[in-house]
Structure 1
Amino acid sequence: MSTNPAATAAFRAARDHLLSIRTDYPAARDTFAWPELEQFNWALDWFDVLAAENPDGKALWIVEEDGSEQILSFGDLRDRSNRLATWLRGQGVARGDKVIVMLGNQVELWETALACIKLGAVMIPSTTLLGTPDLTDRVSRGEARHVITNGRDAAKFDDVPGDYRKIAVAGAPGFETFPDTTSGPADFAPDGVTNASDPLLLYFTSGTTAKPKLVEHTHVSYPVGCLSTMYWIGVQPGDVHLNISSPGWAKHAWSNLFTPWTAGACVMIYNYARFDAAALLAVMKRAEVDTFCAPPTVWRMLIQADLSAWKLPLRECVGAGEPLNPEVIEQVEKAWGITVRDGFGQTETTALVGNPPGQPIKAGSMGRALPGYTIAMVDPVSGEEGDDGEICIDLSKPHLGLMVGYKGDPERNADVTRGGYYHTGDVGTRDADGYITYVGRADDVFKASDYRISPFELESVLIEHEAVAEAAVVPSPDPLRLAVPKAYVVLAAGHEPNRETALSILRHCRTELAPYKRIRRIEFTDLPKTISGKIRRVELRQSEDERHSAKMTGAGDYAPRGEAEFWEEDLPELRSE
């Protein structure tokens, strides 16, 4: 039973409206309005209501690498989270307390998330890959009062200072043991109302360009804001939804918690230690997955497999985290007859821009503004709106899915909301039909011979070559052109990091790119990534600057090239073509 029937009704009405016009984008854009909620607790006022209506409905399905699995219903998770919430309250977890949740894709993660929401506690989701320095930062800046983790990760907190309570699944020295949630009284009574503006989540960003920021969300900005994400993905009641994402990052909350359970779908998880395309596809076939979301890294690995050998009952496929290269979309469509639809959002927001189901797709575009968001393209210099510029949210219009701000950082908050816009830091172009094409992070776009270069455009051409599995393009200092595009390339299986491969890739780029965009240097290597899997181009740029600073300042020549690095001038064949 809902603690706030009026709020439940308003949320349901907004959700049902989007489901009813799921393939009618103009109607969704023109008629959708965010529900007006003064008080709302998504776990109590929505999830528990859904569990009462469909207690035996499949809610969570976790398949392990060895084939073992766990399946829990909505009723199971309502009761388990109620028991856990009562136990946590007895351990001192109170409304407003900050709780670091560092668990893998395991049942206890979802029990904990629901229990914390019911208690009004503030979660700090954290990946299990974090080490002591990162955890020290989270405990300190996050003002954590409690930690919930696995026994195998408990030792990481041995040298993390602070006055906080420790709880471990399966137990650990110095930790309280996570309780058995499968039996006992399943009643839970909240200690008061949950205001829509109360904090719910504190996310540390992945730090692709700088120290992680601390993003604060409320009890509506993600739980209710993910209505836009539900519309973009196309999840429907009763679906089996599989999303490839690690706990601790915003996309996990988007697609493994709020979005599928808002729709009344089943969260499907395949736990693997090492990615195996065939194993993943076999699980998807057996589970009859309806909707599938994966980051571009996974999609790029999937197209290395023979997708045409797998006939899956998929209805919707989407990608998020970084832009999808057109080659990926083309290969999947060729194999499965399904278009992988791109989408765009941030830790600071829910899905902002996307290609929703049933809409025309424009090659290279990540779609249009999603219902509930007014997107402006703002010139970074003049601050005027146009068709090219930084992708921004117009703050004069409703924008429920946007963060409260960066906790403890008023200067950054003022900067990111300057001029009446929320500034994403991403640059794009918008056509007459409203379709937005991603250009790149403002920090990643660079000039070569006075031309603006989009790394994403060049990387999309690179990945079309059969030898390229992944690529990152950055400026490499050059005294004549200021900078030239250099590609760091991860090779596909069966290809060698040699002169012949470099020549073949550079020839391909010459065919597909205008002369001023040509990649003039290439290096075969692994790519530095954040622990959430995003490429750290900033690290590659810094490496290039450091290696060639002597040449640029006149103090010396270029740094020696690596064995797997090739420049245009190394390849005289190119000069004659």
Structure 2
Amino acid sequence: MSVTDDFRAARDRLLTLHSDYHQARREFVWPRFTEFNFALDWFDQIAADPEKANNPALVIVEQDGSATRRSFADLAARSNQVATWLRSQGMRRGDRMIIMLGNQVELWELMLAGIKLGIVLIPTTTLMGPEDLAERVERGEAGWAAVGRSNIGKFAGVPGDYRLIEIGGIGAATTTAATAANTTANTEALQYTDSTTAAVTFTADAPTQADETLLLYFTSGTTSKAKLVEHTHTSYPVGHLSTMFWIGLEPGDVHLNVASPGWGKHAWSNFFAPWIAEACVFVYNYERFDARALMEQMDRERVTSFCAPPTVWRMLIQADLKVLKTPPTKVVSAGEPLNAEVIEQVQRAWGQTIRDGFGQTETTVQVANTPSQPVTIGAMGRPLPGYDVVLVDPNTGEEADDGELCLRLDPRPVGLMKGYYGDAERTAEAFRGGYYHTGDMASRDKHGVITYVGRDDDVFKSSDYRLSPFELESVLLEHPAVAEAAVVPSPEALKLSVPKAYVVLVSGLEPGPELAEDILRYCREHLAPFKRIRRLEFAALPKTISGKIRRVELRHNEELRHSGGTRPDGFGVEYSEADFPRLKG
């Protein structure tokens, strides 16, 4: 059989068993290839099938209602043309190219073309500035950069030996004052429009080796400088069989994933998983999030599958969810754990349970709540087919029911990164002792269901108790006034630290002592005494560029505030239980 046949057989078996988790776990074996090219060996083979060639592969709708629609055949032919043109400009296998584009058709064309050529892709968000880009050029060893016209000016002062490729159209959802002036073509850059005259046939220069580098991702990093994650032509393209199984994607589905280009999650659910399933990728571009408009588009395009990060889910439930007349039958969330209140509201309105999934930029989905399985609210779920997941006690190094979530490496799961590029020390640390160490703490119940506890650097001690920020934040989010919350340790002489909550209120409410007292009271009523929130501050939450809360910054704030020295400017009002005598007792 060909690699296409082998890949299809593994895919089809997971589709057949999508509602039989236990059988899928028993049966599934990763297809392991020595040669594999996702674009040539999979995508183009779908496009070559007369019965599937004209099926929709990509739909992009703009805020004004205009739409771009491409079939599998359209994208196969166009990516051939782009690959042929790039080769004519001197691009060769192993070259490295930054792709800095918004959700526009050229992004998908370039991704497919790059895979066909065997180049290394460095997806980059359009939010990056010159300093970040300089780091990406240097550490990623980029020789090419494909950039939207509205952002190409950011490269003016970026050093390096690279060539620019300018793409017209949108480069971001919004145009800032800094980029508005840069709307004319860059005369020194190659013009992407020239690719339209190239031949629509493409022949690879050589077979693509499975372990060749395909993707370099800079992680967003909540506690340290970004790591450079290296993926191969199989770790994401084949590894996302697990993501397809988690979501429950099937041929003909219309899948909407709310994610920005440049991050691993965009590749997960806006590229690999849907196209592995032969589903259609649907994207809705907007300048400002509008829950009603999003749901109207979901109805119009008949979205059957929906994935969004917790931030989007929290904004959605503040709207009337029943605006959506035909809710998707598959609803999932990833990025950070989702709280029970959100899951329950969506269940009441749509009749569907949001299923959490856990993975990292370094992997595909490892642990998840899969279709047709009972969902334990607040839990990540069970290990997915192909992943041998264990919890390792960080103190003893022994496998346990509570500890760091790790992956056994014998056999090594296909959906795991090659390593951290250019950082042998970090790679060795992550792969020590026969495991891949995720750095995330979790617990497992008697049914094998795994619940997220927190990053190993987020979990903290108060008195002699280990506390999970996620557990405390979940209770805070149940309060009707709380839109977002982050809990960190706040230094305290007797207990070492006490839980401090940073709170963002729902729209229309004003912070003040009365509301602080009410939230603290609610926490006292719903948390064990050793877990109670002792301090509270109303403040915006610092986040990484991909939307994850930077608790490390909040912890630093607490150290400064309670260090005993002069308090720096910029701190808000901190409320303490001691401020409210009625909370005593």
**Class of the TM-score when normalised by the shorter of the 2 chains:** over 0.9
Q: Where in structure 1 are there 5+ consecutive unaligned residues? A: 551-555
Q: Does 1:42 align with 2:38?
A: yes
2:385 aligned with 1:366: no
Matched, 1:574 2:570: no
Deviation for aligned residue 1:174: 2.1
Could you say what secondary structure the match of 1:365 adopts? coil
Give the Cα separation in 2 of the matches to 1:515 and 1:507. 12
Whole-angstrom distance in 2 between the partners of 1:180 and 1:315: 42
Q: 1:126 aligns with which of 124, 141, 148?
A: 124
Distance 1:561 1:223, change over 3 A: closer
Q: Which amino acid is the alignment partner of residue 33 of structure 2? A: L
In structure 2, the residue corresponding to 1:84 is in which secondary structure? helix
Say whether the 8 Å CA contact 2:82–2:198 is kept in structure 1: no
Distance 2:568 2:87 in 1: 60
For the 8 Å contact 1:372–1:398, the answer to whether it is kept is no
| Residue of structure 1 in register with 2:72 after alignment | 74
C-alpha contact 1:208 1:535 (8 A) present in aligned 2: yes
CA offsets 1:494-513 (integer angstroms, 9 cap, x no match): 21111111111111111110
Summarize deviations over 1:27-52 as a string: whole Å, max 9, x none: 10000000121100000000000111
Greater mean alpha carbon deviation, residues 344-353 or residues 557-566: 557-566
Q: Secondary structure at the match of 2:448?
A: coil
1:354 and 1:369 in contact (8 A); partners too: yes
Deviation at 1:179, TM superposition (A): 2.4
CA distance in 2, matches of 1:162, 1:174: 15
Counterpart CA distance in 2 for 1:278 and 1:514 is 39
Amino acid at match of 2:496: L
Residues 1:269 and 2:265 are matched in the alignment: no
CA–CA distance in structure 2, aligned partners of residues 437 and 207 of structure 1: 22
TM-aligned CA distance change 1:269 to 1:181, over 3 Å: farther
SS at match of 1:191: coil
Cα deviation digits, residues 105-124 of structure 1 (max 9, x gap)? 00000000000000000000
- Residue 242 of structure 1 pairs with residue 256 of structure 2: yes
How far off its partner does 1:572 sit?
A: 1.6
Using the size of structure 2 for normalisation, the TM-score is: 0.95
| Deviation (angstroms), 1:563 | 5.1
Letter in structure 1 aligned against 2:46: L
Shift of 1:156: 0.6
The DSSP-based 3-state class of the residue aligned with 1:549 is coil
**1:303-351 deviation per Cα after TM superposition (whole angstroms, max 9, x unaligned):** 1112134322411000001111111111111111100000000000000
Contact in 2 for aligned 1:84/1:179 (Cα 8 Å):
no
Shift, 1:562, TM fit: 5.0
Percent identity for Structure 1 against Structure 2: 61
Contact 1:203 / 1:216 at 8 angstroms: preserved in 2? yes
Q: Which amino acid aligns with 1:368?
A: R
Mapped contact 1:495–1:501 kept (Cα < 8 A): no
Q: 2:24 aligns with which of 21, 28, 46?
A: 28
State the distance in 2 between where 1:146 and 1:409 align: 22
Does residue 98 of structure 1 match 2:96?
Answer: yes
**Could you tell me whether the CA contact under 8 Å between 1:548 and 1:559 is conserved in 2?**
no
| Corresponding residue of 2:391 | 377
For residue 184 of structure 1, report the CA deviation from its aligned partner: 5.5
Give the Cα separation in 2 of the matches to 1:335 and 1:405.
43
Alpha-carbon distance in 2 for matches of 1:7, 1:560:
61
- Alignment partner of 1:495 out of 509, 529, 532: 509
Separation in structure 1 between the aligned mates of residue 30 and residue 549 of structure 2, nearest angstrom: 34
Which of 338, 341, 356 lines up with 2:352 in the alignment?
Answer: 338
Report the 3-state secondary structure (helix = DSSP H, G, I; strand = E; otherwise coil) of the residue aligned with 2:229: strand
- 2:523 aligned residue: 509
State how far apart, in whole Å, the 1-side matches of 2:400 and 2:196 are.
56
Letter in 2 for 1:142: G
Matches of residues 199-348 of structure 1 in structure 2 within 5 Å?
Answer: 199-348=213-362
2:159 aligned with 1:150: no
State the shift of 1:546 in Å.
1.5
* TM-score in terms of structure 1 length: 0.96
Q: Deviations over 1:337-371 (max 9, x none)?
A: 10000000000000000011000111221100000
The whole-number CA distance in structure 2 between the counterparts of 1:173 and 1:295 is 39
Give matches, 1:470-481, under 5 Å. Answer: 470-481=484-495
Write out aligned runs for 1:5-20 (5 A). 6-20=2-16
| Residue 396 of structure 1, CA deviation | 1.4
1:450 matched to 2:464? yes
Q: Which residue of 2 aligns with 1:553?
A: none
Q: Deviations over 1:181-232 (max 9, x none)?
A: 5666311101111000110000000021100000000000000000000000
Quick one: distance in 2 between partners of 1:463 and 1:307? 18
* Partner SS for 1:152: coil
Over the aligned positions, Cα root-mean-square deviation in angstroms equals 1.4
Partner letter of residue 58 of structure 1?
P
